[in-house]
Structure 1
Amino acid sequence: MVGVLAGAAGCGSDGAVAEDPDASAAPSEKPSAQVSTPPRTAELITLATPAEGAKVADTFEASGKANSPEANVPWEIQDSTGKAVLDGAATADGWMDKLYPWSTTVDVSGLEPGTYTFIARTDDTSDGEGKPAEEVGAKITVE
């Protein structure tokens, strides 16, 4: 059935939707420069620690499970603009057939106090030709 509903709620007799005079087409505020936090679980990697919003000082334990090429689990810490300020890698207990535990101690003693994002990912050894890397993460506060 093809047709136009005349007189539908919010529509004038010409079928146009009535505009709300209080609404504006312009954005209400500038987009945030803050980078959104990746999820804590993905198909090939999970993040158990640190907890979302964890307060850390000097060092903290990062852990989870992953199935990443050659058991390599790269990680980084990003500042509020998304710039990587610290990076490293953990080694999972295995790879290829299931998710394996991984853990590492992260030294943040050289970072200024503030809010950061910890991100762990699967490794992409194909330079973008294969399955893209998956990321998990959590906001942390360095004290």
Structure 2
Amino acid sequence: MRSTRTFLARRVAAIVFAGALVGVAAGCGGDDAVAEDPEVSTQPSDQPSEEPSTLPRTAELITLAAPAEGAKVSGSFTASGKANSPEANVPWEVRDTTGEPVLEGAATADGWMDKLYPWTATVDVSELDPGTYLFIARTDDTSDDEGKPVEEVGARITVE
């Protein structure tokens, strides 16, 4: 008799648990459409975006120590972090408010393969117009997408 009660109690608990999961899953995603605001233009703005970068400062294979989010820079600045990128290559770029690259280069980390190694780059922004930009550093992909995916880290900067 005891084993029958235990069996029934476990079945009821499993059914309740499964029902709770279905309820949670039903609330995730779905066909809920988000209405677009027709007053909002999708065209790029001449004004710098006040949104913070959407890129993380830390990923599995790369980190960004400098510049800080929202840093004000002029002339040139030093970008730095740690990375484990093929052949120690750490490509970087500066993007304008439309997302287009306006500067690019690469740093060389102190090593690669077994851990994250320090990297630094001097970024000359003296030819850029004043405004808000996005600095991005990434891991390299020399395998034509056959290796680990490229990881990016970034920070919004203001060129004065």
TM-score by length of 1: 0.78
Separation in 1, partners of 2:106, 2:58: 18
What is residue 37 of structure 1 aligned with on the other side?
54
Say what the alpha-carbon RMSD is for the aligned residues.
2.2
Match of 1:26 among 35, 39, 46: 35
Separation in 1, partners of 2:121, 2:35: 46
CA offsets 1:8-58 (integer angstroms, 9 cap, x no match): xxxxxxxxxxxxxxxxx6323537656853100000000000000000000
- Residue 148 (structure 2) pairs with residue 131 (structure 1): yes
Separation in 2, partners of 1:37, 1:113: 21
Structure 1 or 2, whichever has the larger Rg, is: 2
What is the CA distance between 1:104 and its match in structure 2? 1.0
Alignment of 1:58-73 (within 5 A): 58-73=75-90
Quick one: percent identity of the two aligned structures? 75
Deviates more, 1:108-117 or 1:29-38: 29-38
CA offsets 1:75-125 (integer angstroms, 9 cap, x no match): 000001110000000000000000000001100001000000000000000
- Check whether the contact 1:37–1:117 (CA below 8 A) recurs between aligned residues: no
Unmatched 5+ stretches in structure 1? 2-24
Match of 2:91 among 74, 77, 81: 74
Match of 1:101 among 105, 110, 118: 118
Change (3 A) 1:117 1:69: same
Structure number having the greater strand percentage: 1
- Indicate the SS of the match to 1:70: helix
Separation in 2, partners of 1:31, 1:75: 30
Separation in 2, partners of 1:82, 1:120: 14
- Indicate the SS of the match to 2:87: helix
TM-score by length of 2: 0.70
What is residue 18 of structure 1 aligned with on the other side?
none
Separation in 1, partners of 2:41, 2:99: 14
